Amino acid sequence: MNKKLELASPHMSDKGYEQKYIKEAFDTNWIAPLGKNVNMFETEMAQKLGVDKCCALSCGTAAIHMALKAAGVKEGDTVFCQSLTFAATSNPITYIGAKPVFIDSEEQTWMMSPDALERAFEKYPDNKYVIVVNLYGLPAKLNEIKAICDKHDAVLIEDAAESLGSKYFGEYTGRFGKYAILSFNGNKIITTSGGGMLLFNFEDYQERYEKVLFWATQSRENRRYYYHKETGYNYRLSNILAGIGRGQLMVLDERVAQKQQIASFYRELFKELEGIELKEPMEGCECNYWLSVAEITHPNIKPLDLIEAFEADNIDSRHIWRPLHTQPVYSECDYIDNGKVSETIFDKGICLPSDTKFNDDDLARIADVIKKLWKEKSN
Ligand X SMILES: Cc1ncc(COP(=O)(O)O)c(C=O)c1O
Stretch that binds ligand X, among 43-51, 55-63, 94-102, 359-367 (CB under 6 A): 55-63
**Sole binder of ligand X in the list 92, 196, 323, 349 (CB under 6 A):** 196
Q: Is the dihedral of CA 157, 162, 165, 167 positive or negative?
A: negative
159 lies in the binding site for ligand X (CB under 6 A): yes
Q: Is 45 exposed, middle or buried (0-12, 13-18, 19+ CB in 10 A)?
A: buried
Taking CB atoms, the residue at the shortest distance from ligand X is 60
**Sole binder of ligand X in the list 18, 104, 158, 162 (CB under 6 A):** 162
Measured in degrees and rounded to the nearest 5, phi and psi for residue 286 equal -120, 135
By CB under 6 A, the residues from 79 to 98 that bind ligand X are 85-86, 88-89
233 lies in the binding site for ligand X (CB under 6 A): no
Stretch that binds ligand X, among 6-14, 40-48, 159-167, 362-370 (CB under 6 A): 159-167
> Considering the complex, what minimum distance in angstroms separates the CB of residue 185 from ligand X?
4
Q: Which is nearer to ligand X, 317 or 369 (CB)?
A: 317
Edge-to-edge strands of the sheet including 167-168? 171-172, 167-168, 285-286
The two counts, helices (H) then strands (E), for the chain are 12, 15
**Sole binder of ligand X in the list 78, 109, 127, 185 (CB under 6 A):** 185
Number of residues that bind ligand X (CB under 6 A): 14
Closest CA to 100 of 64, 135, 136: 64
Return the number of other C-beta atoms located less than 10 Å from residue 34's C-beta. 16
Containing 60, the helix (H) or strand (E) segment is helix 60-71
Containing 182, the helix (H) or strand (E) segment is strand 179-183
> Considering the complex, what minimum distance in angstroms separates the CB of residue 183 from ligand X?
3
Angstrom distance (rounded) from CA 336 to CA 101: 7
By CB under 6 A, the residues from 267 to 326 that bind ligand X are none
CA distances, 335 to each of 76, 112, 218 (Å)? 17, 12, 34
59 lies in the binding site for ligand X (CB under 6 A): yes
> Considering the complex, what minimum distance in angstroms separates the CB of residue 288 from ligand X?
13
Q: Which is nearer to ligand X, 196 or 374 (CB)?
A: 196
105 lies in the binding site for ligand X (CB under 6 A): no
Angstrom distance (rounded) from CA 89 to CA 257: 27
> Considering the complex, what minimum distance in angstroms separates the CB of residue 88 from ligand X?
4
**Sole binder of ligand X in the list 161, 197, 351, 373 (CB under 6 A):** 161
Q: Which is nearer to ligand X, 40 or 324 (CB)?
A: 324
Q: Is 60 exposed, middle or buried (0-12, 13-18, 19+ CB in 10 A)?
A: buried
The binding site for ligand X (CB under 6 A) comprises: 59-61, 85-86, 88-89, 133, 159, 161-162, 183, 185, 196
